[in-house]
Amino acid sequence: MTVHWGVIGERGTTRTIPLKGGEDPDKVIAKESQRPKTEGYKKVSPAKHARIIVQYRINGMGTPEDLDRGHEVEGLMNECLGWLGLGDCDGNDIGSGTMNIFCFVVDSAVAIPHIVGELKAKGLLEGAVVAISSEEGDTVVWPKDFTGEFSI
């Protein structure tokens, strides 16, 4: 079992705990989670997570290559956001001219630079539009000089 902790937005520390034969992993998780709880840490309700959308323009309903890229971005976001304690990716949709990858994060201001940085590092930033979705609407945060229309 891997236990991971640290400051949101930083890689943190990881420790591996070998499970003994027949040991209940849920009990180990419960035990390991007690210390942070006693130090005042608590889970951020999913309702309080910000929704970030990574969008790419595609032709029509998209191609198998577009779908592959969507899965690649999903995996990248899960790795990036998960190991930094920021959140995760909740899938994608494709069709009608766009492909959207949906991420849910505990702090969008911390997450956005990491998302953009990871996309750039993996050669996936070109053509990407990154937006924060809220009840008031969607706000494009990347590229900084975006002038087009954004909709899901």
In 3-state terms the chain splits into helix, strand, coil percentages (rounded to 5) of: 35, 30, 35
**pTM (predicted TM-score):** 0.89
Domains of the chain: 2-38 (no CATH), 46-142 (3.30.70)
Q: What is the pLDDT along the chain (152 residues), one digit of tens a residue?
A: 898 888 899 998 999 999 998 899 999 999 998 988 898 888 888 889 999 999 999 999 999 999 999 999 999 999 999 999 999 999 999 999 999 999 999 999 999 999 999 999 999 999 999 999 998 999 999 999 999 889 98
User: Roughly how many angstroms between the first and final C-alpha of the chain, as a whole number?
Assistant: 38
Q: What is the pLDDT of residue 41?
A: 85
Task: Specify the residue for token string 């890229």.
Answer: 69
Sequential DSSP letters for 26-91: HHHHHHHHHHHHHTT--PPPGGGSEEEEEEEE-STT--HHHHHHHHHHHHHHHHHHHHTTSEEEEE
Q: What is the pLDDT of residue 9?
A: 94
